[in-house]
Amino acid sequence: MSIRIGIVGYGNLGRGAELAIRHCPDMELVGVFTRRDPSTVTIATPGVKVYRLEDAESMQDQIDVMILCGGSATDLPVQSPQFARMFNLVDSFDTHAKIPDHYATVDAAAKEGGKVAAISVGWDPGMFSLNRVLAQSILPQGHVYTFWGKGVSQGHSDAIRRIKGVKDARQYTIPVERALEQVRAGEAPELTARQKHTRECYVVAEEGADLGWIRNEIVNMPNYFDDYDTSVRFVSQQELNEEHGGMPHGGFVIHTGKTGVNGENDNVIEYSLKLDSNPEFTSSVLVAYARAVYRLSQEGQTGCRTVFDIAPRYIALMSDEELRAKML
Amino acid sequence: MSIRIGIVGYGNLGRGAELAIRHCPDMELVGVFTRRDPSTVTIATPGVKVYRLEDAESMQDQIDVMILCGGSATDLPVQSPQFARMFNLVDSFDTHAKIPDHYATVDAAAKEGGKVAAISVGWDPGMFSLNRVLAQSILPQGHVYTFWGKGVSQGHSDAIRRIKGVKDARQYTIPVERALEQVRAGEAPELTARQKHTRECYVVAEEGADLGWIRNEIVNMPNYFDDYDTSVRFVSQQELNEEHGGMPHGGFVIHTGKTGVNGENDNVIEYSLKLDSNPEFTSSVLVAYARAVYRLSQEGQTGCRTVFDIAPRYIALMSDEELRAKML
């Protein structure tokens, strides 16, 4: 019997989850749930229905795991606790500072409903977090660094678009090569934001806009840009669409630790991602952990989990015997 | 209260474990157990005693976890089942083909003794295995490759030393750069052994030995060398000691998978290790999983485990709350 999946929210992440499920022989998409009018939403899978968000409550016996594909700012803080009472679920809540609160509310709701919820699943938080913990546990005397990019930051692109006279924009976060080299060399440098990443902006201005003023607004924007070396290039809408239409991202978790009687040996653990599609990869992680959530629930477990709490075997398609024989 | 650790076997791995424990504030080394005469073994930690292997049986109430640091050929197949009846333990059993058998005998012994045993812990098998499974679970449509090196292969070095006229030798396994590039580019190539790795040998010959014959014996040795491009360089014992005395190793697990409606997006997951000391890193992994084994045992679990069965939280020094607040 297949694991019956529901998708909540049909943006980039929801569409990615729908595609990822196709690669999972043990799963079946039951429905997509949206806040929009379902008749206006066309999905990629023939024969699968689109429902109103409110319809979910009456479908608890038809869905094993809900994959929540909304945003962390306003959707998930409401939806995850609400759905955790009714469904096993995974979400990709990524507001790092608010994770402990989110965990607490989702944990209480999931326990109340007798369900399992995995939160903050994706790549960061998610696979990067897991690799930070594994590395630091193995070499606790070491130093761990996270670099992001090269990739499109949605938040920074949005911040540029809010500037007067800006029609459209795309921002790339880029790790500084020299910083990567220092870290890999085991130098354990102290690095400022500026030393770790640069920011590259492609901006479409409205006709007649003051380009100098826009450039100035961008590079001096507090938090978003003023702590970084930022380059701004004005391009046509056509060039933006053609050259910068994708959603690539990725990054590096690098941990270095010295071993030996006098710390004479350098050891470097590195995990990296190079993704042509940030949302499609993130949703692939969500789908893998949906499998884990289902299995944990079948074992009678309840409550909230993160990637730290879930053994690799729970996300694997292979049986334990196969894993030991083929993958160990 | 500290986790009380015993080390079985005091070679490179045992010495590495002893050093790794120093970086773990939650652990304490209780004793080292050896097949040699304890009076001939001096260890690095003042105040810690060296015992005969047979003394262990009477010390079951003084040790929480035994770290088995013997070899996979003859030590661990005997020691792991024997000790699993008496102690929680970790081992680094790395004969891939025999892992299912080893698992079965250790599992039976551990269950009989009410203990937890983690086998095949290290980096390959171990962290590489874990990363293979995580990557393949997230992108099941993808292809995973493992490359080893640059590093010293003990087995291949030993094989050269057995050749007549060879005094000493060191063999490096080196991944082929072009193969790494093809894999990272998402080309999913089919690669022969020769296309993946080259072998570099540094050999000290006995005086008057036939160098041409030795070279021939090496490059044509079945399984070890005949499937690879092998280079042989004759050096003095002094040069071997000075330039090739270390035990570096490492490697790459690279998984590529296409996503998107028509597989138009390439995604690359890469995990790599660059180790100045193979045994010190391996034993650091063993020590981290000793923590997990202790905690699982405290929960009342019994039986055999691998890295696939153990959630990251069990090896972490931080509490669950700290992990979520700082590492997620």
CB spacing of B100 vs A281 below 8 angstroms: no
Residue A32, pLDDT score: 98
Closest chain A residue to the Cα of B130, Cα to Cα: A312
Contact B19, B48 (CB under 8 A): no
Residue type, B184: R
Residue type, A57: E
Of A23, A267, A271, the CB nearest to B275: A267
Q: What is the residue-level pLDDT of chain B in tens, covering all 328 positions?
A: 899 999 999 999 999 999 999 999 999 999 999 999 999 999 999 999 999 999 999 999 999 999 999 999 999 999 999 999 999 999 999 999 999 999 999 999 999 999 999 999 999 999 999 999 999 999 999 999 999 999 999 899 999 999 999 999 999 999 999 999 999 999 999 999 999 999 999 999 999 999 999 999 999 999 899 999 999 999 999 999 999 999 999 999 999 999 999 999 999 999 999 999 999 999 999 999 999 999 999 999 999 999 999 999 999 999 999 999 999 9
DSSP B290-311: HHHHHHHHHTT--EEE-GGGS-
B25 vs A308, B22, B29, CA distance in Å?
A: 21, 7, 11
Of B267, B310, B316, the CB nearest to A133: B316
Of B100, B137, B140, the CB nearest to A325: B100
A293 vs A89, A136, A160, A297, CA distance in Å?
A: 7, 26, 38, 6
Name chain A contacts of B103, Cβ cutoff 8 Å.
324
The C-alpha angle with vertex B97 and arms to B95 and B98, in degrees rounded to 5, equals 70
**B23: helix, coil or strand?**
coil
Residue A5, pLDDT score: 98
Q: Which helix (H) or strand (E) holds A243?
A: helix A237-243
Residue B197, pLDDT score: 98
What distance in Å separates residue B48's CA from the closest CA in chain A? Answer: 16
Contact B147, B252 (CB under 8 A): yes
Residue B40, pLDDT score: 96
Name chain B contacts of A184, Cβ cutoff 8 Å.
274
CB spacing of A311 vs B308 below 8 angstroms: yes
What distance in Å separates residue A290's CA from the closest CA in chain B? Answer: 11
Helix boundaries (H) for chain B: 12-21, 75-84, 99-113, 127-138, 154-161, 177-184, 193-196, 211-219, 237-243, 278-298, 320-322
- Is it true that the peptide bond before A77 is cis, omega within 30 degrees of 0? no
Of B257, B277, B315, the CB nearest to A259: B277
Of A134, A288, A328, the CB nearest to B306: A328
Q: What is the ipTM of this complex?
A: 0.97
Name chain B contacts of A275, Cβ cutoff 8 Å.
265, 267-268
CB spacing of A267 vs B276 below 8 angstroms: yes
Give which of B299, B251, B29 is closest to B152, Cα–Cα. B251
CB spacing of B261 vs A19 below 8 angstroms: yes
Closest chain A residue to the Cα of B327, Cα to Cα: A129
Q: In sequence order, what are the residues at sequence separation of 6 or more whose Cβ sits closer than 8 angstroms to the Cβ of residue B167?
A: B204, B205, B206, B237
The residue of A72, A138, A271, A280 whose CB has the most chain B CBs within 10 angstroms, and thus the best one to mutate to test that interface, is: A138
How far apart CA A8 and CA A65 sit, in angstroms, is 11
Give which of A218, A12, A137, A189 is closest to B288, Cα–Cα. A137
> Cβ-count burial of A22 within 10 angstroms (0-12 exposed, 13-18 middle, 19+ buried)?
middle
Residue A1, pLDDT score: 81
Closest chain B residue to the Cα of A136, Cα to Cα: B316
Give which of B48, B31, B52 is closest to B40, Cα–Cα. B52
How far apart CA A245 and CA B73 sit, in angstroms, is 55
Of B125, B259, B327, the CB nearest to A133: B327
Contact B246, B119 (CB under 8 A): no
> CA neighbours within 13 Å on the CB side: how many for A236?
3
Closest chain A residue to the Cα of B272, Cα to Cα: A270
* Residue B210, both tokens: 């036939």
* Residue B114, both tokens: 């009410």
Considering only CA atoms, give the Rg of chain A.
Answer: 22
* Residue B206, both tokens: 């006995």
How far apart CA A196 and CA A189 sit, in angstroms, is 11
Q: What is the residue-level pLDDT of chain A in tens, covering all 328 positions?
A: 899 999 999 999 999 999 999 999 999 999 999 999 999 999 999 999 999 999 999 999 999 999 999 999 999 999 999 999 999 999 999 999 999 999 999 999 999 999 999 999 999 999 999 999 999 999 999 999 999 999 999 899 999 999 999 999 999 999 999 999 999 999 999 999 999 999 999 999 999 999 999 999 999 999 899 999 999 999 999 999 999 999 999 999 999 999 999 999 999 999 999 999 999 999 999 999 999 999 999 999 999 999 999 999 999 999 999 999 999 9
Residue B120, pLDDT score: 98
Neighbours of A271 (CB within 10 A): 25
B304 touching A (Cβ < 8 Å)? no
How far apart CA B316 and CA A136 sit, in angstroms, is 8
